[in-house]
């Protein structure tokens, strides 16, 4: 299973999603760590580590897919 981390720097939030979540875009055109975007990880541990290192104040898990 793939996990997605959505970094939204404009609203200072990072969110964890499962790969089949309806909020995950079907195509990711660009992602930039400094500006934000969608990043995929092969396992939950790496995704959680990325969330901690994102540098945002708010960390949450998607309420739709509940990873």
Which CA distances in Å does 10 have to 19, 21, 25, 66, 67?
23, 22, 18, 23, 23
pLDDT in tens, the chain (67 residues): 899 999 999 899 999 999 989 999 888 777 776 778 999 999 999 999 999 999 999 999 999 998 7
Q: What is the pTM of this model?
A: 0.87
CA distance 54 to 6: 10
């Amino acid at each position: 299973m793939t996990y997605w981390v959505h970094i939204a720097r404009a609203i200072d939030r990072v969110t964890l999603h499962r790969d089949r979540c309806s909020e995950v875009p079907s195509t990711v055109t660009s992602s930039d760590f400094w500006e934000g975007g969608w990043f995929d990880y092969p396992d939950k541990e790496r995704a959680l580590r990325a969330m901690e290192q994102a540098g945002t104040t708010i960390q949450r898990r998607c309420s739709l897919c509940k990873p």
